[in-house]
Chain A
Amino acid sequence: MSGVGGEIFVDEARELLAEVESALLALERDAEDPELVATLFRALHTLKGSGAMFGFDDIATVAHEMETVFEQVRSGSLAVSAELVDLGLLALDHLRTLVALAAGEAREHPDVVGLLARIGAFSGRSAKGEPLIPAARAIGSDLLRTYRIRFHPPADIFQRGLNPLGFLHELYALGDCLAVVQTGEIPDLQAFDPQRCYLFWDLILTTAADHDAIRDIFIFIEDGCRLNISLIDEEGWPENAADYKRLGEILVERGDLATRDLEQVLRERKRLGESLVEAGLVDSSRVGSALAEQQRIQELRRQRQEGGTAKSLRVNSEKLDQLVDLVGELVTIQARLSQTSLRSHDPDIAAVAEEVERLTWALRDQVLNIRMLPIGTTFGNFRRMVRDLGAELGKEVELVTGGGETELDKTVLERLNDPLAHLIRNCIGHGIESPTERLEAGKSRTGRIQLFASQVGSNVQVQISDDGRGLDSRRIRAQAVASGLLAPEAELNEKELFELIFIPGFTTTAEVTSVSGRGVGMDVVRQAVDGLRATIDIASTPGKGTTFTMELPLTLAIIDGLLVDIGGENFVLPLSAVEECIELKQEERKKSGSRNLVYLREELIPFIRLRERFGIPGEAPEIEQIVIATLEKRRVGFVVDSVVGENQTVIKPLGRLYREARGLSGATILGDGSVALILDLPQLVQMEEIAEDALIGAFAGRKD
């Protein structure tokens, strides 16, 4: 247990224990001194309080039990004896060990249970060491309930230094809340005391919190505060909107109107509310409040009725994963059926196969859709982390999020958590400066980290940016050279330098903190990003900040692919990246020589010959196909023998032996049962660039 004040706790506990020791020893000599007992009592009490606060329950429990013993001494029901002092010293030794344990200096756990038994036997009570920390209350179910709350604060609430608004704010924080202020008890001006509170509130609160959670808000002013909380609606209750109680019924239920008076007025057959106010039976604000309740519940029930389909159902996520697996199998089988039906030339079978294809695709989309979750929940998790980390590092940081409604596949979302946490930690640790540094740089004290998500085509883009000091490319370079990751004469552009921070073991931080500087982190991000078949991009301006941009696939399970053929082997390119396919004739190929460039609508596009890259033997056909893909705003061509067509690609990971294979992101099983490899286009481009740089380097070397 570390964290804020952890070290202070250990120091303080040791001081207190020293006090306990000297008081115990003094007590042995002078059993009559009440001051000594008081000192012991207070020191143990303080230790109990801080021990519990810092989560050292054993320390708190032992201190509590000893405190109880000295309480008995103080009240005179127990006399000071040599045995008492012995017990005190024994407890002291245990406490010392526990504190050493808390400080991380000891490993052995002392026998707390045995000690408690001895203390219990001594004081004649059973010291069971009951937990001092009350068990956390369950927050209640997810069912939305609506409560009627009448909050009648004590008249002297202002004099007690409290403002009723604070309580209303907390209620609003619990859920959807509607407040009607009641002014009926404000007296005439002559009798009015400005220091007293005459107002009270009727609130209709729709929340998932339970009755106790609501009551807890008022716990601090419980006495003197009149509080009525009643459950008036719950999901699953009568669904008929018009069904809710009538005005008279509500008023009687609230105790604002007597049944007898209600019947009297009802006989007059006017609008009930008006008659009641006219007759002076109920004041108009109470009638208004009851009407508000009626309207609110009717509205709620109507919404529930209309939004019947929007009702959610909780399903174990494992079941969902199984469902996705099954759909994956189904898609594969369906492809086989389509191929078989094509070969059979039987129109009846073809019709059935087509229908199955249509349904399978619809099913696939639906199932994948079920797994989509808004990214906002993940964002929310980081709020706490940002706050705590900022505090730990003495930095002021605020987190701004946007696009929380953007949806991603559940698995992607789960695996995104770690890299996001690393990046945010990195932003706080390296990017954001301390408040003083920021002020000197003419920035606001508080640094800002922005987390934005948006859907871009069939990908989701997540951006993490800070307004900190930015990446120092010179320092990164120096560090990379110093640690032997980079040759001193290597020429890298800024973007390539930034990429270095993803290399395992790379760090620019001199001192190691709990946050950063251990050289682990960014390579974890790279691994996770690769594992998600995502890309990450860094942009940074010195003094202005750094932005990481991740592009993630919507789902990991099934993608739309483009099936191509090279020398009889099948490969799949992710269709989302593909723009178009053009022909590459043999004479064009000869014309371009070794430059591997093609003109397309006034633009020169580089291409990669996959046949060469993968070393596939045999002659290329007369006319090859170039698949033009867009990668990070660049257009790159991939030359294949022929394009087979679109394919529903169920992604299977490559086996362990092939995990290091570059340029491939997985494999899939085709309709005829054969395996096709899925290409990792960004990686292929990267490999080609490296090869080209090496070539240029070799040329340059020869010239000199």
Chain B
Amino acid sequence: MGKRIMIVDDSSSIRALIASALNGQGYDVLEAEDGADALEKLMTQGKSVDMMITDLNMPRMDGINLIERFRKIPGYRFIPVVMLTTESQEEKRRQGKAAGASAWLTKPFKPEQLLGLVRMVLV
């Protein structure tokens, strides 16, 4: 039914904010607190995701590393990945794109902006 979106961010409040926006639109949400947690959940929970939204700066495994590994998982090559960046992270943004990110969103963003982007990439 609803598409499932994975949110990876070490800030639980931002995860809550995004999750509530997405839930409000009927999306199913899977949360992870960093890259390592995300990969572990993807591998062990047996649930596939239709999209991933990830922060870049995270302990243990950062977003860029995550995107690279995510793209190598069979079936996730063409799944949209949106990275959350801040104004000052132009270099990171470039690395993220090279790693296979589909799009990026600059923090702070309004929930509507995120929903617009999700609508756009999850056709």
Contacts and interface: CB of A to CB of B under 8 A. Distances in A.
Interface of A: 4-6, 8-9, 11-13, 42, 45-46, 48-50, 52-55, 60, 132-134, 158-163, 165-167, 169-170, 217, 220-221, 223, 387-388, 390-391
A12 B86 CA distance: 19
A161 B75 CA distance: 11
Contact of A161 (B14, B79, B86, B119): B79
B46 interface: no
Contact of A169 (B17, B87, B102, B120): B120
B57 interface: yes
When A and B form their complex, which 6 residue pairs have the shortest distance between CB atoms, in order from nearest?
Answer: A220-B103, A52-B108, A5-B16, A9-B13, A166-B120, A161-B80
B122 interface: yes
Contacts of B122: 166
Q: Is the interface of B mostly helix, strand, loop or mixed?
A: mixed
Contact of A4 (B16, B80, B102): B16
A435 to B, nearest CB: 11
6 contacts: A42-B58, A42-B59, A50-B14, A53-B14, A158-B78, A169-B123
A220 B102 contact: yes
A217 B20 CA distance: 24
B8 to A, nearest CB: 13
A54 B13 contact: yes
Interface in B1-56: 10-14, 16-17, 20-21, 23-24, 55
A160 B120 CA distance: 13
Between A9, A158, A160, A391, the greatest number of chain B beta carbons within 10 A of the residue's beta carbon is seen for: A160
Given A46-B11, A53-B17, A54-B17, A163 B107 contact: no
Given A45-B57, A52-B107, A166-B119, 7 more contacts: A4-B20, A12-B13, A42-B10, A46-B10, A161-B81, A162-B102, A170-B116
B20 A170 contact: no
B interface, how many residues as a size bin? 35 or more
Between A42, A53, A54, the greatest number of chain B beta carbons within 10 A of the residue's beta carbon is seen for: A53
B69 interface: no
Contacts of A134: 87
Interface in B90-122: 97, 100, 102-104, 107-109, 116-117, 119-122
A391 B120 contact: no
Contacts of B108: 49, 52-53, 55, 60, 132-133
A162 B80 contact: yes
Nearest to B105: A220
B106 to A, nearest CB: 8
A160 B16 CA distance: 27
Nearest to B52: A161
B57 to A, nearest CB: 5
Contacts of A5: 13-14, 16-17, 20
Given A5-B17, A53-B108, A132-B108, A45 B78 contact: no
A49 B107 contact: yes
A52 B107 CA distance: 7
Contacts of A163: 121, 123
B55 A49 contact: yes
B100 A160 contact: yes
B20 A391 contact: yes
A221 B55 CA distance: 19
A165 B86 contact: no
Nearest to B116: A170
B102 A160 contact: yes
B121 A166 contact: yes
A387 B21 CA distance: 10
A42 B21 CA distance: 25
A127 to B, nearest CB: 14
A162 B101 CA distance: 10
A8 B12 contact: yes
A645 B98 CA distance: 83
